[in-house]
Amino acid sequence: MIPEDIIKKHVKKSKIPGISVGLISENETKLFNFGEIKKESGAEPTSDTLYEIGSMTKTFTAILAVKLQNEGLLSLDDPITKFLPEFAGTDFDKNQITLFHLITHTSGIVEVPFKVYFKYLIKFLFRVTDGKVFPPRYSLDTSSFLQEMSQLKLKDNPGTKFRYSNSGVGLVGKILERITGSTYEELIKNRILGILNMHDTTITISDKHKEKLATGYMHTGKEADPINIPAVESAGSVCSTVSDLLKFLKVNMDLEQSSLSPVLEHCKSTRIDPSLSFLKKFTAKLLMGATSIEIGLGWMAADLKKIRILQHSGGTEGFSTTMMINPNNKTGVVLLSNAAFKDNSKLCIELLEKLDDKENEN
């Protein structure tokens, strides 16, 4: 089956309003767009349609932290109390939590207590929620966010267990802002996006961008509000296009060189192997067929049956996104869709395997 048919089948089965996909290899780049950017609008997405990319934002945050480290402004091994003295005496101080721990999700932060998570999961499965999924913490201003975070009790010894945390990476963003005196958006635009010519990647939606922005849809089918998570901006607030993200992948795949290449390589090559819960291992096995998983700086590495991948997915209240690389064959895929809670990983893997089969034939 050709990639176009594979994508169409996925869109129909998953009931996705609109989708944009980019495939890249050493020999070619292909773009696919199906559906609508807004239901019943008749307007098809393009490679320049803007989607919320959710947690794929974390990849940029990791790159930014490493770049600032190279500039001598910080060390990833610095305890965060060096930059947040108001955290003195807290669990973060007692456990000497570092920027590295926060970026790799090994600080011991419990994002949502199990009882709260379980109650919400039941409501979600039976569709008795309003479609809102972000905890109230994400909407706090910086001062209130830091105050709430400082009171958290950590559950694990630092560096030992993987607990995915938007709040932890949000804290990294606040630290980087404090160190530089710039906003997170200014930092990524000046130190990453501008260098890679990713001029449509943004947090603030300007008048120019509004006409390109897809409408997101919650799992209930209703339109989602635009993302607004000021407390954890650095964990999931970026909007981007397939065109821009293919530029990003091209440099990460060493198909193009940039002044950022050494930083990107550091993020890709750093690996840790913390303990993962049974649920996380089972989910990775179920969704991707992963036989092993490692955590990097802004990336997750996984061994599959046929290939090894670097990847990061993203999800907001109205969008589901994924980007994957096979570093061995220098092939990659970007998938952006305007529907929440859609598992696109199997589709991305299938497309990547098709790419790899083609590259191996050449």
DSSP 30: E
pLDDT tens for each residue of 58-73: 999 999 999 999 999 9
Instruction: Say how far apart CA 310 and CA 317 lie, in whole Å.
Output: 24
Q: How confident is the model at residue 362 (pLDDT cuts 50, 70, 90)?
A: low
> Any idea which residue has 């009931």 for tokens?
15
What's the rounded mean pLDDT across residues 181-191?
98
pTM exceeds cut of 0.85:
yes
| Alpha helix ranges (H) inside 182-277 | 184-188, 207-210, 233-236, 242-252, 261-269
- % of the chain residues with pLDDT over 90: 75
pLDDT at 306: 80
Mean pLDDT over 295-309 rounds to 90
Question: Rounded to 10 degrees, what is the CA torsion of 181, 183, 186, 188?
Answer: 100
**In the chain, pLDDT over 70 holds for what percent of residues?**
90
How many CA atoms lie less than 13 Å away from 224 in the CB half-sphere? 30
What are 303-326's pLDDT values in tens digits? 888 888 999 999 999 999 999 999
Domain ranges of the chain: 3-361
Burial 285-315 (b: 16+ CB within 10 A, else e): eeebebeebbbbbbbbbbebeebebbbbbbb
The answer for 108, left when phi > 0, alpha when psi is -120 to 50, beta otherwise, is: left
The per-residue pLDDT of the chain, averaged, comes to: 91
Residue 275: pLDDT band with limits 50, 70, 90: confident
Nearest to 150 by CA among 176, 175, 128, 185: 175
The CATH fold of domain 3-361: Beta-lactamase (3.40.710)
Cβ atoms of 294 and 300 within 8 Å: the answer is yes
Residue 265 predicted with pLDDT over 70:
yes
What average pLDDT does this structure show over 267-283? 81
